[in-house]
Structure 1
Amino acid sequence: MKHLMILLLMQLQVMGLGAQTQANYSPSEKTTNNMENKEIIRELYEEILNKRAFDKLDQIISPGYAGIDQQKGAKAFKKPILPLIAAFPGLKWELDHIVAEGDQVVACWHVTGTQEGPLPGIAATGKTVNSFGMAIYKLEAGQIVASEVHTDRLDFLQQLGVLPADVNAIPKPATTGSVYFIDQFKVPNEALPAFEQRMALNREMIKKMEGFEGDTIYKFSSGDTTQLITVAHWRDAAALEQAKNKVIASYQAEGFDMPAQLKAWGIQMERGIYKAVLK
């Protein structure tokens, strides 16, 4: 099913993105251009990534290629890849499908490797992963000028044991009135130490409050940002509301403005109160 969905997405991408460029080529030129672009992408995976020949990236990555942190060119392209290879020295990409149309190429691939080194926030596990992904490339004059990568991060983290195989398997609450207070934070890495220090203070405070049943923190780093998800289990909604009031009072006594501080740190937050669904 996963392969079927990826292939369908590839076809939709080609139909939508390639339609704009079809008219620019005669049938023979179009076929030649498609073949050349596919070979460039095949070279990227088989000759450069798998053989770690990063000195060749300048040949196929445009100087104008923009990375996620405003860097340009081959340096920007390889920046998110190098930490992955450092953690998985034997990492290997295998191309499953390549579809080209006009100046667009969609590649479907899977990677295999054993985590021998740490990833940001994840110690070496010694576990082997086999993870799927796809990428959409735009090429001009034989060079990659833009890319969009989609990976199955949930499956990747589950294979490493960072997340449970069944993410919906929440321990049965002590009572049917139990609630889960869930915060999701997107934190710039430069603000992470200060934010984690503040978060540790908050955890120590709420652990002593009436109705607190326990908490869990999930952490995943990618590029220049780290995603943190905190799940606090409370006996019931009344206990949570009482705890929130105590936290606000503590902030006011301290002179601490949490919304203003999050904005100053450049942190994005989503918050919700959830109940476990009992079957």
Structure 2
Amino acid sequence: MLKTRVITAIVLLAVFLPVTFFAPVGAFGALIAFVVVFAAWEWARLLKLGGAGPVVYALVAAAALVASTKLGTGIEAPRPLFQAASVFWVLAGPFVLLRKPTLAQGAWRIFLLVAGLLVFVACWHALVAARMAGVPFVLSLLLVVWLADIGAYFSGKAFGRHKLAPAISPGKTWEGALGGWVAVLVVAIAAVAVHAFEPTLYSALLERHGALRAFIALTVLVVFSVVGDLFESMLKRQAGVKDSSGLLPGHGGVLDRIDALLPVLPLAMLLLG
């Protein structure tokens, strides 16, 4: 399993990094669109659409993404998309995690199928806008989620005692979440202190909001990275599956890799808007 996981990671990085660093923004956008459409397919599967339903949903997501480009892309990305996606995560995310409704039936399934289109389109626009702001910027934005996840893993292993959401994801702890938050702040402070590869998300937040508000903004982003992770974990638990799919050997599915990014991306761009 470890060997498979490592090989898959190497292949993914071999595709993602060259496209991010060297390819035109259009090629980067095409790659992210490809990822988003597969994530939409998995979202529909977790919501238990039968037959060809997930494929149809993925095609609808692709069409919605194409149609949304008429509203603007990149640095002129439509702010209402980020606002609407952020409202979904700020309101629906915590409500679902606290109340634990059945998501794959009735009104909730309809709501999440519609909201999913918004979430995935906003995710695409946010990443394209971040890439247009520069390679260091988009990487620093992704690094918030990666550091929160890595820091949570190692802190949880070392110090984890108090379960964060035992009914949804038994492995997560409050100590782990705190460790992820600290990891993000340490790297952000270091990056700002040495003025490396600016502009980054951290330098942009500092310039726009000052130190205190930038600190609060990064904290909010870390919190919602956890919300996104737990939200997908709940979808999987209710669907009775361990992974969102088997598309990425050793890693599960696309949603398993981007779940924490889904709320963080629109929120980050909104905080900078």
TM bracket (short chain): under 0.3
Q: Which has the higher helix share?
A: 2
TM-score when scaled to structure 2? 0.22
When Rg is computed on C-alpha atoms for both structures, the one with the higher figure is 1
If asked which structure has higher relative contact order (CA below 8 Å, sep 6+), I would say 2
Q: Which has the higher strand share?
A: 1
TM-score when scaled to structure 1? 0.22
